[in-house]
């Protein structure tokens, strides 16, 4: 007779779509009184590269920490390749690779020694591991530095090894938590190329970032997260299409106070203010801009700069939250 937990697992498997590699349902997490995740839901198909985009403190790392079993959610369910994260933690750990935000390597070991160690704890056979480590070193352009200690590496080189260390056991799923923070353009491009290669090999990837360019370049679908909630989700085209805003007129005023702000709101009520910059959301900037300039002149509002921003992840985020991604 099957026990209760087995029945629960079987039912759970039936409930969620077999196509989904990762399925997150109503995930909640609080630290003390602070609610970091407020019931997020998303699902990722096999081979998909999913971008979790949001500003610092939005809940990206907490989400990754829960998916990679570092933290336990207060409530909600996570299924990874039909396995329940709560009950099949170790099996999930074996098929996932995690690239943490910090460079989690042993500084006094060489790159090769680090890779051999990190692959070793996943029980990769020694010969296979050695071959894989050398392949990755070649892929990341560090083969000639493999016997140098990590402490002698540049930031970008360390980031590359940091990613390589998560690939040694050939994971089906890869969590990349802001893997390009603080690195040089050369390393960034190299990392992008590697990620694109992994994507091409149909590895399912969750990529967290607060750089919209990265999300736009790499991701099949993007989940925009803010204050512990996913506020928009879809492909870049879907996000653009579904956004009521097609363009943003961004005006930098020389001085902004309450009175001036009120005057601007009398022109359009849906404006958003960030310091001295006021954003006007529009579907047609060409028509709207002359009217806006004329209004500002009549109202005596002096401005220094005007920009018309085309719809991108940044403008969508700005429209949704009134904040910039890098706030």
Partner 1 sequence: MIKIVIKDLKLFFNDKGSMLMAFAVPIALITLFAFAYGGVGKGNKSNKIVLQVSDLDNTTESKEAIEQLDSLKSIQIKLKDLEDAENAIKTGEASSVLIIHKGFSDSLMAGNVLPLELKYDEAREIEIGLIQQSLIPTISMLPFRLKGSKNVIGKRLVKMTGTTDLQTQQSIQNQSDNLYDVIAKSIVESSQGNDKIKNPSSGFFGEDMKMTKIIKAEHSNRIGLVQAVAGTSVMMLLFSVVGIGLGLLDEKKEGTLKRLIYSPIKPGNILLGKMISANIMSILQLFIMFLFAWLAFGLKIGSQLPGMIITIVATSFACSAFGVFIASFAKKREQIQGLSILIILAMSAIGGSMMPLFFMPAFMQKLAAISVNYWSIQAFFDVFWRNLSVTDSVFLSRILILLLIGGILNTIAVVLFRKNILKLV
Residue ranges in contact with partner 1 by CB under 8 A: 68-72, 90, 93-94, 96, 98, 100, 102-107, 118, 121-123, 165
In whole angstroms, the minimum distance from the beta carbon of 82 to partner 1 comes to 18
Structure tokens belonging to residue 193: 């190329």
Pick 155 or 255: Cβ nearer partner 1: 155
- Least distance from C-beta 77 to partner 1, angstroms? 20
Cβ atoms of 21 and 83 closer than 8 Å: no
Query: For 57, phi and psi rounded to 5 degrees?
Result: 85, 5
Question: Among residues 46, 87, 13, which one has the least CA distance to residue 171?
Answer: 46
In Å, what is the CA distance from 73 to each residue of 4, 41, 78, 275? 22, 13, 9, 36
Q: What is the DSSP string of 236-281?
A: HHHHHHH-S-SEEEEEEES---HHHHHHHHHH-TT-EEETTEEEEE
Q: Please state the closest distance from residue 101 (CB atom) to partner 1, in A.
A: 8
Nearer to partner 1, 69 or 227 (CB): 69
User: Given the complex with partner 1, which of 174 and 249 has the nearer CB atom?
Assistant: 174
CB of 139 to partner 1, least distance (A): 20
- Closer of 106 and 213 to partner 1 (Cβ): 106
Q: Collapsing DSSP states into helix, strand and coil, what is residue 116? A: helix
Q: Any idea which residue has 């990679």 for tokens?
A: 68
Nearer to partner 1, 191 or 285 (CB): 191
Tokens 């990590």 belong to which residue?
A: 150
Whose Cβ is closer to partner 1: residue 1's or residue 121's? 121
Burial category of 123 from C-beta neighbours within 10 Å (exposed 0-12, middle 13-18, buried 19 and up):
exposed
* Cβ 118 to partner 1 shortest distance, Å: 7
What's the closest the beta carbon of residue 120 comes to partner 1, in angstroms?
A: 10
Residue 174 CB, nearest approach to partner 1 (Å): 12
Report helix, strand or coil for 181. Answer: coil
What is d(CA 300, CA 183) in angstroms, rounded to the nearest whole number? 45
Distance of CA 66 to the CA centre of its chain: 14
Between 17 and 123, CB nearer to partner 1: 123
Smallest gap from residue 202 Cβ to partner 1 (A): 22
Encode 6-30: b = buried (16+ Cβ within 10 Å), e = exposed.
Answer: eeebeebeeebeeebbbbbbebbbe
Shorter beta-carbon distance to partner 1: residue 68 or 208:
68
CA distances from 306 to 78, 94, 269, 284, 290 (A): 45, 52, 19, 15, 12
């Amino acid at each position: 007779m099957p026990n209760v937990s087995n029945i629960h697992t079987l039912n759970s498997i039936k409930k969620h779509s077999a196509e989904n590699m990762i399925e997150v349902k109503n995930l909640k997490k609080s630290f003390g009184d602070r609610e970091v995740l407020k019931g997020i839901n998303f699902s990722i198909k096999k081979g998909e590269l999913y971008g979790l985009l949001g500003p610092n403190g939005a809940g990206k790392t907490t989400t990754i920490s829960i998916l990679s079993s570092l933290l336990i959610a207060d409530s909600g369910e996570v299924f990874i390749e039909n396995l329940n994260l709560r009950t099949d933690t170790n099996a999930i750990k074996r098929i996932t690779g995690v690239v943490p935000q910090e460079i989690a390597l042993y500084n006094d070991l060489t790159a090769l020694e680090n890779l051999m160690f990190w692959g070793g704890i996943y029980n990769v056979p020694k010969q296979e591991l050695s071959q894989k480590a050398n392949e990755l070193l070649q892929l990341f352009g560090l083969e000639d530095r493999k016997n140098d200690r990590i402490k002698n590496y540049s930031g970008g080189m360390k980031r590359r090894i940091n990613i390589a260390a998560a690939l040694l056991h050939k994971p089906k799923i890869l969590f990349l938590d802001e893997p390009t923070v603080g690195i040089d353009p050369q390393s960034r491009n190299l990392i992008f190329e590697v990620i694109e290669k992994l994507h091409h090999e149909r590895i399912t990837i969750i990529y967290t970032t607060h750089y919209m360019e990265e999300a736009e370049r790499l991701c099949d679908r993007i989940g925009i997260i803010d204050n512990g909630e996913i506020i928009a989700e879809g492909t870049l085209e879907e996000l653009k299409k579904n956004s009521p805003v097609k363009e943003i007129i961004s005006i930098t005023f020389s001085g902004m106070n309450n009175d001036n702000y009120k005057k601007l709101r009398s022109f359009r009520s849906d404006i958003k203010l960030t310091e001295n910059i006021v954003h006007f959301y529009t579907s047609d900037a060409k028509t709207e801009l002359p009217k806006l300039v004329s209004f500002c002149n009549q109202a005596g509002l002096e401005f220094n700069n005007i920009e018309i921003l085309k719809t991108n992840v940044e403008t969508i985020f700005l429209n949704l939250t009134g904040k910039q991604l890098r706030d």
